[in-house]
Structure 1
């Protein structure tokens, strides 16, 4: 059996058992993967005999997506294929077949505005309250999720946040976002309080060289991975009884939505989130309108049943 066949067999087990996907969805994902394998095979035969699933680059994937367009595959189908490929490389990363995800920057074609999932303030509190502070990483996780929500950070910004970039007196943090662009973001008193509590535990960690200034450390004394943060959030949401499909980005969406609902200026939200364009931030106006619509449906006397 070829190594690629063995990897795909394990991936099928992963999406069937661990992701609990429906059988028709599994087959669709595998068919999409076949398209990528065909692309790799054609590249091998033409000019790159050593190309494989494990050494595929972001540039290769861009070429693959360009070929999908040339074949006349519609944007919605392209998006589904890219989603399947991203799922596959997430599995490869988890199982140690690759050390970096080449699909990380791969963008799907625009197929209309999709309103992201958001959490209510109560749900955020439930997740934070579900953290067991008696566990070694409990206070770290609580501080980390409080910062994620209070500052609206990307998960990549959270795991690279430095202790020296937390200004306790001024109540700001310095964040390095996309393209190494830096911004100052206000941080709440509760978040600063949780960080101060976490520092007692952090001082007990044997820090690896090069990670001395990283704020949130793994038990091995290194920076946390984005996947680890994803798993922590999934676990805490489950413990809190929340059934929404959430990720670290859900905290960022919730941060912006709650600011908008509270009357914050869209331009201020853009600056805090580090969006290049105001049009990116404008999606939260759609979320706010949807929230208002649901409030009217649920609470207006003309809509009450019985």
Structure 2
């Protein structure tokens, strides 16, 4: 059974070219599923799996306190796997056919208001190389809506300041071109001319953003710096690595940007993913109304 899961993971990597984190998520879900079938249901082949086995597995996940969103992800992983097995003629049927995904509760992303964004972007002290780097990173994130993974994976060759854009590789190894604003361009130019060389020193690296050792900045390194600058900016809201991405999209839509254009800039494959930000703007409008209307 382990070999069939390995074949499926290979298919996801080689043929579907899914992002590394997505593949890891599939592998983790299917490993958990396989262990349940083997240890609890005493099955030795995926051909023996029926609908009730999967329902019982999902029930155990729910009893352990997993959310409906997590259950829906597990179902998607299991369904994709069994469809693959059927196509490859390893199994004779797909036991997931009549299993519905639970409706996941969709939480609205946390966003910063304009004054909070400005405070965060002004937090880094630009009298030293690391501060100049932090300023460039934060300005770039808010100017483009990049994912943090896309930010830290940027290379020198991806930066085109004179033409006003950057090239990034998003989920599923999809390339997109993202425009830059003048403020972000200035901050990045300052980083290139007055900070990156001092940080890189004698190291040879294509990475655009580097740490104090001159090596590519990690996701954990970025997260640590974000929290430090949020503390300096006295931001009380809970932040995530995606906070500036969410704020970027929300502020664009609040100021009349086209939803399709925002979808393109964010690199969303499906516009329904982008539409969550229209709900955010409506919720914020309601908050403003309740706060300022005399008869709210």
Give your verdict on TM over 0.5: yes
Q: Where do residues 1-306 of structure 1 align in structure 2 (5 Å cutoff)? A: 58=25, 61-63=28-30, 65-66=32-33, 67=36, 70-71=56-57, 72=59, 73-74=61-62, 77-79=65-67, 111-199=104-192, 200-204=194-198, 205-206=200-201, 208-209=203-204, 211=205, 213-303=206-296
Q: Deviations over 1:114-159 (max 9, x none)?
A: 1010011111111122212224300000001100111000000000
Q: Deviations over 1:56-110 (max 9, x none)?
A: x65552135544963414399323997xxxxxxxxxxxxxxxxxxxxxxxxx976
Instruction: Give the Cα separation in 1 of the matches to 2:67 and 2:234.
Output: 31
Q: SS of the residue aligned with 1:124?
A: helix
Instruction: Give the Cα separation in 1 of the matches to 2:213 and 2:55.
Output: 44
Q: Deviations over 1:176-208 (max 9, x none)?
A: 101111011111100000011111211222253
Q: TM-score, normalised by structure 1?
A: 0.67
Report the RMSD for the aligned CA atoms in angstroms: 2.5
CA contact (8 A) 1:165 1:174 kept: yes
Instruction: Give the Cα separation in 1 of the matches to 2:64 and 2:182.
Output: 44
CA contact (8 A) 2:111 2:247 kept: yes
Instruction: Give the Cα separation in 1 of the matches to 2:269 and 2:289.
Output: 33
Q: SS of the residue aligned with 2:129?
A: coil
Q: TM-score, normalised by structure 2?
A: 0.69
Q: SS of the residue aligned with 1:287?
A: helix
